Amino acid sequence: MAFSGFNSYWNEHWQSLWRVLDKQ
C-alpha cells in the first residue's frame, strides 16, 4: 500500500517537517 511507504517516509522525516511548520 502507498500508505505504508508514506508512513515510513513520515517516520524518517517528521522532525524536519515539524521544523518547517514551526517556522510558519
Three-class SS string for the chain? CHHHHHHHHHHHHHHHHHHHHHHC
**pLDDT at residue 16 in the model:** 85
Output the average pLDDT for the chain: 80
Q: What pLDDT score was predicted for residue 1?
A: 57
Rounded to an integer, the average pLDDT of 3-24 is 82
What confidence category does residue 11 fall into, taking pLDDT thresholds of 50, 70 and 90? Answer: confident
Percent of the chain at pLDDT > 90 equals 0
From CA 10, how far away is CA 3, in angstroms rounded?
Answer: 10
Instruction: Band the pLDDT of 10: cuts 50, 70, 90.
Output: confident
